[in-house]
Amino acid sequence: MHAIPPPGVSPAKEAPSRITKSGGIERDYRAGKLTEAQEKIVIALAKKQGVAKVVRISTIHFHPSAARGIRVEGAQETNGREVSYKTLSVNFKPWFHRGGGPRKEDAQMGDFWAGKAYERKKTILRIGETEYLCGSIRGIEIEECEAILSLFLAGKFTYSPNPRINDRLLGQVDWSKPNRFSKRGNDISVGFPHKGGHGSGFFDLQVDFVDGKLNIKQMFQAIP
């Protein structure tokens, strides 16, 4: 068995972060920068399509193609452990797939278009004083999810090295953004995104969690 010492393993190359915040809006323009005028159009389009208050705009790659897109997120509403917010995918003609365009039901403003916003719900996991949002929890108690996540974050887990589980791959996992936790019988499955961000793929792991000790049995990587 191979143990992972904190803070983890050799870091993988990531897309450079360009996160800024002003005017109450966080911007992550790693896939391409929008001008102030373009932002105003995107915000107006988002409000028209159901995002009442825009708090984040990010530009994303659609790997493996050269196309790019825009993601808009609305203000979060919290009810106990549940967090909900509206999100909208916006397309920009110069960045879109060649020959593609808006659908009949899409709203369009200039070179930008989008469908309707949809609601996303996540669950709050608390590790010490820090909160993490998880997209899906099924068949497993929140407290067990928090215990497992805390061990991943601290690098306190073991695994048997093989081509599918090794330091290089584990160094690409973003442990701070859990996608899901699920449990069926004694089988526990967890999911995390790639550190490269949206469009860079994700990892599914099958784990054992016994007597407070965490071991990765299998690891699968989804590559776009």
pLDDT in tens, 15-69: 455 688 899 999 999 899 999 999 999 999 999 999 999 999 999 988 788 999 9
- 3-state secondary structure at position 140: coil
Output 159-164 pairs: Cβ under 8 A, ≥24 positions apart. Answer: 159/1, 159/2, 159/4, 159/215, 159/216, 159/217, 159/219, 160/1, 160/2, 161/2, 164/218, 164/219, 164/220, 164/221
**Predicted confidence (pLDDT) at residue 5 exceeds the cutoff of 60:** no
Report the SS3 class of residue 134: strand
- Angstrom distance (rounded) from CA 17 to CA 30: 6
Read off the pTM.
0.77
pLDDT at 170: 93
* Rounded CA separation 19/55 (Å): 13
What pLDDT is attached to residue 16? 52
Contact between 90 and 114 under an 8 Å Cβ cutoff? The reply is yes
Tell whether the model's pLDDT for residue 14 goes beyond 70.
no
Say if CB 102 and CB 91 are below 8 A apart: yes
Measured distance CA(208)–CA(57) in Å, rounded: 38
Average pLDDT estimate for 110-129: 97
Which residue, 171, 219, 174, is CA-closest to 9? 171
In this prediction, residue 8 carries a pLDDT of 40
Task: Say how far apart CA 208 and CA 174 lie, in whole Å.
Answer: 20
The band of 9, judged by pLDDT with boundaries at 50, 70 and 90, is: very low
Q: What is the CA radius of gyration of the chain?
A: 19
Average pLDDT score, the chain: 90
For 16, phi and psi rounded to 5 degrees?
-60, 135
pLDDT at position 217, please?
94
